[in-house]
Amino acid sequence: MNTALPVVRLKNAWRSSHPWIFQKLVEKPAAKPKPGSLVDVVGVDGEWIGRGFYNGHSRIAVRILEIDPAVAVDEAWFARKIAEAASLRRDVLKLDAVSDAWRVVHAEGDGLSGLVVDRYGDLLVVEFFSAGMFRHREWIYAALRAQFPGARFYSFAEEHVQKQESFDYRPVSSSGERPEPAIISEYGVRFRADPAGAHKTGFFADQRENRQWLSQQVAGKRVLDLCCNTGGFAVYAKVRGAEDVVGVDIDEDVIEIAKGNAKLNDVRLKWVQADIFPYLRDAAVRGDRYDVVILDPAKMTRDRDQVIPALKKYLDMNKLALGVVAPGGLFATFSCTGLVAEHEFLDMLRRAAYFSGRTIQILKVAGAGADHPFMAHVQESRYLKAVFCRVLD
């Protein structure tokens, strides 16, 4: 054990390999380390547990990074972990062959709790989910520069994370100014990734394999992309030969980006800025029917107490969406709300089909791409649910 680090002792026996240790399980250390400080963690009897980031202000008191007492968590440790993460994407998954946009670090899935890094061409977008990762950001930047020489950086932390983790940070780019968007390619389809002007980290790379799979089913079809955001599914569909494509989103800014993405690929689509609830009710009254309908709403909640209301909203929008699918058509529905389990989402879909009077045949259940790995003992990293159905009647 590195005696130079403060020691945090647990109140109760610890029989878990999960990297999160919650505040109620931890004795307050006498040294009062600053949020995000490295500490050694020992059990109630003094046995070694691990080494990680401590935050006395957060619900998650400790994020374990290393369980070998002989291994220091230092700049070299970060360099090794980030090199391993990059190698997985390049050498094992061989993602460079299909795209220059992929997730470099997926937090706990890569053993780096509280850190997400996305690559968009020459632009690396770094998102901090913990005070520890924020506090040690220079080590992270150095490790990323070693793997991506000459890359531009844009880093940020969402406001609710800063509040929960007790740190302040304004978005920063390597140039000191708002970064220029990156133009990326994915299975031959081009997109503009703008981390300073869109939801998430600038582009939804987690849907890459889902976009590619669905796009192989759309030639000559009429396609409706609901909650289309920057037009990922819609643009893919038109590029792959769909006859007519309509993209609908409530956010005017992302619709403008979607229009630009269509132009990048020299395709023409119809874009509608609207709330999908009244839009779908009006479409049903008109008798509109589509061969392929995609429903990919934003995250519904971060609060476990709001999961039931979130499922109710999913139910309502899926019922309406099913109402505009032509008999024999395809319906692709998604949830990126991590607190909603896959079995809960599938049960919601069962009820949506029942209440809308449709019979659905599930063809494929999927999730995020392989560049978003998750550990078997950290199911929280598996957030995206993707269900592809055929509507039989």
pLDDT in tens, 249-290: 999 999 999 999 999 999 999 999 999 999 999 999 999 999
Assess whether the region 7-66 and the region 75-173 belong to the same CATH fold: no
According to the model, what pLDDT value does residue 176 have?
Answer: 73
Mean pLDDT across the stretch 312-338?
98
Q: Which fold has domain 7-66?
A: 2.30.130
In tens, the pLDDT along 87-131 reads: 999 999 999 999 999 999 999 999 999 999 999 999 999 999 999
Contacts of 6 (CB under 8 A, 6+ apart): 29, 31, 33, 37, 39, 40, 54
Strands 60-66, 48-54: pairing kind? antiparallel
- Is the model's pLDDT at 2 over the cut of 70? no
Mean pLDDT across the stretch 216-241?
98
Instruction: Map out the domains of the chain as residue ranges.
Output: 7-66, 75-173, 204-391
According to the model, what pLDDT value does residue 263 have?
Answer: 98
Contacts of 158 (CB under 8 A, 6+ apart): 127
Percent of the chain with pLDDT over 70: 98
- Is the model's pLDDT at 201 over the cut of 70? no
Query: For residues 217, 221, 225 and 228, what is the CA-based torsion angle, rounded to 10 degrees?
Result: 70
In tens, the pLDDT along 44-85 reads: 999 999 999 999 999 999 999 999 999 999 999 999 999 999
Model confidence at 179, in pLDDT bands (50, 70, 90)? confident
> How far is residue 335 CA from its own chain's centroid?
11
Is domain 75-173 annotated with CATH 3.40.50.1220? no
As a whole number, the mean pLDDT across the chain is 95
Range with lowest mean pLDDT among 182-191, 198-207, 285-294: 198-207
Residue 387 parent element (H or E): strand 385-391
Is domain 204-391 annotated with CATH 3.40.50.150? yes
Q: Residue 73: how many CB atoms within 10 A of its CB?
A: 22
Q: Put the strands of the sheet holding 270-273 in their side by side order.
A: 270-273, 244-249, 222-226, 290-295, 325-335, 385-391, 360-366
